[in-house]
Amino acid sequence: MRKIRLVVVQDAGMRIHKETLEKIITKIALTRADEIGCETCFAEVDRFVDMLVAGEDPEKVMPLVEHHLKVCGNCHEEFLALLEALKSAAT
C-alpha cells in the first residue's frame, strides 16, 4: 500500500480525530474502479464462504467479493458470522 503523509489542518468550526482521518484516507486509497456494492456482495457471500470452508480459494474466483469484504465492515461482520455458523454446523 502507498504511504500517505497526513497533514492535519485545524479549522475552528471543524475537528476530526487523526485516527478517523487516517481510516478515511486508507479507505479512499483502497478504492477500485470495479468495486461491487453491499447488495452484490451479500448475494455472493454464501458461495464465497462455501468455497472457503471446502478448502478452495474463493479470492481467485471472486476477487471483487474478497475486496469488498476487506473494505466494508458491515459485510465483513456478516461474512464472519456466516463462516462461524458453517464451521459450527460442520462439527
Cell of 36: 461491487
In a domain, 11, yes or no: no
In a domain, 71, yes or no: yes
In a domain, 39, yes or no: yes
State the residue range of the domain holding 64: 33-90
In a domain, 6, yes or no: no
Q: Please, which pLDDT band fits residue 16 given cuts at 50, 70 and 90?
A: confident
> pLDDT digits over 18-30, tens only?
888 888 887 777 7
49 alpha carbon, distance to own chain's centre: 14
In a domain, 22, yes or no: no
In a domain, 8, yes or no: no
> pLDDT digits over 53-80, tens only?
999 999 999 999 999 999 899 999 999 9
Mean pLDDT of 28-38: 83
Q: Would you tell me how many other CB atoms lie within 10 Å of the CB of residue 37?
A: 10
- What are the phi and psi torsion angles at 52 (to 5°)? -65, -45
**pLDDT above 70 as % of the chain:** 85
Q: Would you tell me how many other CB atoms lie within 10 Å of the CB of residue 11?
A: 7
In a domain, 45, yes or no: yes
Query: For the chain, what is the domain count?
Result: 1
Q: What does each C-alpha distance from 83 to 14, 34, 54, 87, 89 come to in angstroms?
A: 40, 25, 11, 6, 10
In a domain, 77, yes or no: yes
